[in-house]
Amino acid sequence: MDDYRRYLQPSVVAQLKNIELKARLVVEGFITGLHRSPYHGFSVEFAEHRQYNPGDEIKHIDWKVYARTDKYFVKQFEEETNLRCIIAIDKSGSMRYASKNNISKFEYSAYLAASLGYLLMKQRDAVGLALYDETLQTYLPPRSKTSYIAEILKIIDQTYPSEKTGTAKALNQLAEKINRRGLVIIFSDFFDDLESVLNALKHFRHKKHEVIAFQVLDPQEINFKFSGSVLFKDIETNETIQTQPTQLQKYYREKVEDFINSLRKECFERNIDYNVLRTDEPFDKALRQYLTKRAKL
């Protein structure tokens, strides 16, 4: 494996001690990968450019970018480049789940959130943070001051999932909290009443925010590849049930697939970017989705 790809692997990043180091190495690995892949047209510097439009002054075309991509981009002015972004992390009890050899859903989300915050700051955008369980617990408004990222990373690093959950209620509180239009990036398993979650996401769109919803799931929550007699315990209620998973596997998978497909369909109809992230997947999938969205704003 190329060195740069090592730091896109959740299991490798989890072994690093410092969250700022984790974020930096993930972002550096991601950027290196962009330059070596068919996606080389995306780069951090593109946050400071937009595609050339008829009427733009030719003197603002960046010819170095043209030489690499064969496309015309113009440099943006400061007031054009500044994006306001809130990164929201679900810290409810279900996010503590981790199957064997995988990090928890919360850890995965936290590392990605830290990396995105670091990337946003490199792009001179304003970034803020929201943490929630059944209610909104922490809110840091978006700022573009470089030193602000240290405060955001420190809070992420010191946060642990709670026992409570209430995604829809918390997201509605967050939507009311954000006064200026911007981009809202949400990391959650969205384990709540589907209609309520969709109404909360719709709340952001009603207030003219752009939204990326990342549904973070453990591979076992999708595949349900358990064998033998297994004791299942609800992380949030501590209720237990002993069963033979093979008897439930087909039914379970159908229900999960229905839930994911319904969420995807409804998000698409509301012009919300939706992606499923598995905790055994490299981090570049989410970062690439962010850059794709960023290029459209």
Residue 278 has pLDDT above 90, yes or no: yes
∠ CA 266-269-271, rounded to 5°: 110
The whole-number average pLDDT for the span 27-55 is: 66
Residue 245 has pLDDT above 70, yes or no: no
Kindly indicate the confidence band of residue 229, based on its pLDDT and cuts at 50, 70 and 90. low
Kindly indicate the confidence band of residue 236, based on its pLDDT and cuts at 50, 70 and 90. low
Helix (H) or strand (E) holding 131: strand 126-132
- In terms of C-beta distances under 8 Å and separation of at least 24 residues, what long-range contacts does 193-196 make, across chains too? 193/168, 194/259, 194/262, 194/263, 194/266, 196/167, 196/168, 196/169
Q: Which pTM does this prediction carry?
A: 0.82
Residue 67's Cβ-side half-sphere holds a number of Cα atoms within 13 Å equal to 3
- Residue 60: per-residue pLDDT: 77
**pLDDT tens digits, 92-107:** 999 999 999 999 999 9
- Residue 95: per-residue pLDDT: 95
Distance CA 70, CA 34 (A): 17
- Residue 40: per-residue pLDDT: 42
**Position with higher pLDDT, 199 vs 76:** 199
* β-bridge pairing 73-75 and 49-51: antiparallel
* β-bridge pairing 273-278 and 210-217: parallel
Query: What percent of the chain is predicted at pLDDT more than 90?
Result: 59
The whole-number average pLDDT for the span 79-86 is: 74
Q: 140 in helix, strand or coil?
A: strand
Highest mean pLDDT among 40-44, 161-165, 214-218, 233-237: 214-218
Helix (H) or strand (E) holding 212: strand 210-217
Residue 73 has pLDDT above 80, yes or no: no
The domains of the chain, with CATH numbers, are 41-79 (no CATH), 82-296 (3.40.50.410)
**Position with higher pLDDT, 27 vs 236:** 27
**pLDDT tens digits, 111-157:** 999 999 999 988 888 999 999 999 999 999 999 888 999 999 999 99
Q: Which of 255, 280, 109, 103 is nearest to 188 (CA)?
A: 109
Helix (H) or strand (E) holding 240: strand 240-243
The whole-number average pLDDT for the span 261-276 is: 95
Sequence length of the chain is 297
- 226 is written with which tokens? 């358990």
- Residue 64: per-residue pLDDT: 79
**Position with higher pLDDT, 185 vs 244:** 185
Average pLDDT in the chain: 86
Kindly indicate the confidence band of residue 61, based on its pLDDT and cuts at 50, 70 and 90. confident
**pLDDT tens digits, 5-39:** 899 999 999 999 899 999 999 998 898 887 665 44
